[in-house]
Amino acid sequence: MAQKTQIPKGTRDFSQSEMLKRNYLFDTIKRVFEKYCYLPIETPAMENLTTLLGKYGAEGDKLLFKILNSGNFLKQVNTEDIDEKNLNALALKISEKGLRYDLTVPFARYVSQNRNDINFPFKRYQIQTVWRADRPQRGRYREFFQCDVDVIGSNSLLNEIELIQIADEIFANLKIGCIIKLNNRKILSGIAEHIGESEKIIDITIAIDKIEKIGLDKVISELSEKGISETSIEKLIPILKLSGTNSERIIQLKNILKNSEIGNQGIIEVEQILTLIQSFSMNSEVVLDLTLARGLNYYTGAIFEIVATDMNIGSICGGGRYDDLTSIFGLPNVSGVGISFGADRIFDVLNQLELYPKYLEKNIKLMIVNFGDEVLLNSLQLLEKLRKENIKAELYPDSIKVKKQLNYANKRNVEYIAMLGQDEIANNLISLKNMKTGDQHKVNFEDLLNILQK
């Protein structure tokens, strides 16, 4: 009996036309990464759960896809495990591997595991799928791609600058207008110090990170709820409201944070980055955004976020500097900085704004109509000659009605149709039809090649 055929919720098939578009996106990203001398690595889809658990918070642990042990997975299980309904403990008894949740933890594991073979500073990129058992919804998938680019083992701010340039060049190549937002975790620490709430730095950054989404008022309520005093909040508001150019805000901020060593250090870093960036011809504006915090706790220096200007879709790229990512795997004091491109959101922007180059549609140059066995050898010889010239060409495999063959070619976006009947063969010519214009005329092989190679 025939089965119902469905893919799991939250996952996607990619059709040929989608793949052409996705490959365009990934190839554009890779080309820029490699021009800046970042090279790829890949890690396995599965990691040991000991590697993954505890790295993404309790919520993240729940979203890990766990893989049932093969063989007798009940080996360590007894009936009490079931009665107690202690799912987490039981899950670990019957599964020891999970699917990767992001590329950051596998990268940290990779660096730690291969520390003796790695040539630091290590400039790597990684484009792979990740899996999260999130509730599927529009634009949120259980299997999706991440594109990460990082350099690890160098404290130099030149790395931050290079990553900004990479993002700028990628979005320029993709024709996506965007703003690059910059902040520094040290400035956020300085602000926490200044308002007298140093120990609440995490709560403060989490709250102000939401300012664009929920607005200043709700951020203030959240800060109150977290126990930040009214005096502190009053001291914070003018900082969040600072206005003017980057330089103007930096001057004001320097004055406000003059007594915070860490705050000043952050300001100096931001200033250096913004100054050096000015010497490059950038496509996007780089803006100091003091409300940019990014939720992740492992950032210690610069933080970035890139938003598209022509579509309201949130952040399409983000990252920052982390000073201690690999220490959890036994390799302390290795500073790194990286950014991650949100491939699925960028894909949405490209689709929505129709930013694909025209050539993507034209993937197949020529189809030879199949007129049956009598002219088959001639057709195959023509095909072979064209393929020797690297022309993407094919012969329709069956000698069915010409109309059906043309219909197939049309749906397939074939650019040209070649017809090779007895007449054409006798005169050493080929009837060539341009499928877009409908133009049709007879050409010899040399002309054909010229047209197809144009």
List binders of its own copies among 151-170 (CB under 8 A). 151, 154-156, 158-159, 162
What residues form DSSP beta bridges with 442? 431
Pair 104, 51: CB distance under 8 Å: no
Please tell me whether residue 387 binds its own copies under the rule CB under 8 A.
yes
- Quick one: which of 384, 440, 444, 453 contacts its own copies (CB under 8 A)? 384
Pair 128, 29: CB distance under 8 Å: no
- H/E segment holding residue 321: strand 315-322
Please tell me whether residue 89 binds its own copies under the rule CB under 8 A.
no
Considering only residues 322 to 341 of the shown chain, the ones binding its own copies according to CB under 8 A are 327-331
**Helical segments of 154-229, H only:** 158-173, 185-194, 201-208, 211-225
Please tell me whether residue 402 binds its own copies under the rule CB under 8 A.
no
Smallest gap, in angstroms, from Cβ of residue 170 to its own copies? 13
- Quick one: which of 116, 243, 255, 279 contacts its own copies (CB under 8 A)? 279
Our CB check for its own copies shows the closer of 236 and 418 to be 418
Our CB check for its own copies shows the closer of 6 and 243 to be 6
> Cβ of 418: how many Cβ atoms within 10 Å?
22
Q: Fill in the per-residue mask, 22 to 41: x = in contact with its own copies (CB under 8 A), - = not in contact.
A: -x----------xxxx-xxx
Smallest gap, in angstroms, from Cβ of residue 228 to its own copies? 33
Tokens of 348: 């949405």
Which listed range, 180-188, 298-306, 311-319, 377-385, lies at the site for its own copies (CB under 8 A)? 377-385
Q: What is the largest CA-CA distance in the chain?
A: 95
- Quick one: which of 25, 99, 223, 369 contacts its own copies (CB under 8 A)? 99
DSSP letter string, 50-119: HHHTTSSHHHHHHTPPEEPPSS-TTTT--HHHHHHT-HHHHHHHH--EEE-S-SHHHHHHHHHHTTTT--
Size of the site for its own copies (CB under 8 A): 108
Q: What does the alpha-carbon distance between residue 266 and residue 280 come to, in Å, rounded to a whole number?
A: 22
Please tell me whether residue 425 binds its own copies under the rule CB under 8 A.
no
Considering only residues 237 to 276 of the shown chain, the ones binding its own copies according to CB under 8 A are 276
Smallest gap, in angstroms, from Cβ of residue 396 to its own copies? 8
- Quick one: which of 29, 103, 124, 200 contacts its own copies (CB under 8 A)? 124
**Helical segments of 197-281, H only:** 201-208, 211-225, 230-240, 246-256, 261-277
Considering only residues 346 to 365 of the shown chain, the ones binding its own copies according to CB under 8 A are 363-364
Smallest gap, in angstroms, from Cβ of residue 436 to its own copies? 18
Please tell me whether residue 449 binds its own copies under the rule CB under 8 A.
no
Please tell me whether residue 59 binds its own copies under the rule CB under 8 A.
no
CA 34 vs. chain centroid, Å, equals 15
Residue 139: phi and psi, rounded to 5, are: 80, 0
Region of 338 (left: φ > 0; alpha: ψ -120 to 50; beta: rest) is beta
Please tell me whether residue 14 binds its own copies under the rule CB under 8 A.
yes
Tokens 């999260």 correspond to: 132
Which listed range, 79-87, 185-193, 252-260, 304-312, lies at the site for its own copies (CB under 8 A)? 79-87
Please tell me whether residue 2 binds its own copies under the rule CB under 8 A.
yes
Q: Say what angle helices 376-388 and 445-453 make with each other, to 10 degrees.
A: 50
- Quick one: which of 58, 59, 117, 137 contacts its own copies (CB under 8 A)? 117
Please tell me whether residue 123 binds its own copies under the rule CB under 8 A.
yes
Q: What does the alpha-carbon distance between residue 346 and residue 361 come to, in Å, rounded to a whole number?
A: 19
DSSP letter string, 322-367: ES-TTGGGT--S--EEEEEE-HHHHHHHHHHTT---GGGT----EE
Tokens of 269: 């870093």
Please tell me whether residue 380 binds its own copies under the rule CB under 8 A.
yes
Please tell me whether residue 90 binds its own copies under the rule CB under 8 A.
yes
Q: What does the alpha-carbon distance between residue 243 and residue 266 come to, in Å, rounded to a whole number?
A: 18
- Quick one: which of 116, 119, 243, 333 contacts its own copies (CB under 8 A)? 119
Which listed range, 185-193, 246-254, 387-395, 445-453, lies at the site for its own copies (CB under 8 A)? 387-395
- Quick one: which of 26, 60, 143, 224 contacts its own copies (CB under 8 A)? 143
Considering only residues 173 to 212 of the shown chain, the ones binding its own copies according to CB under 8 A are none
Using only the alpha carbons of the chain, give its radius of gyration: 29
Which listed range, 8-16, 227-235, 308-316, 317-325, lies at the site for its own copies (CB under 8 A)? 8-16
Smallest gap, in angstroms, from Cβ of residue 242 to its own copies? 29
Which of 249, 265, 270, 263 minimizes the C-alpha distance to 193?
A: 263
Our CB check for its own copies shows the closer of 241 and 404 to be 404
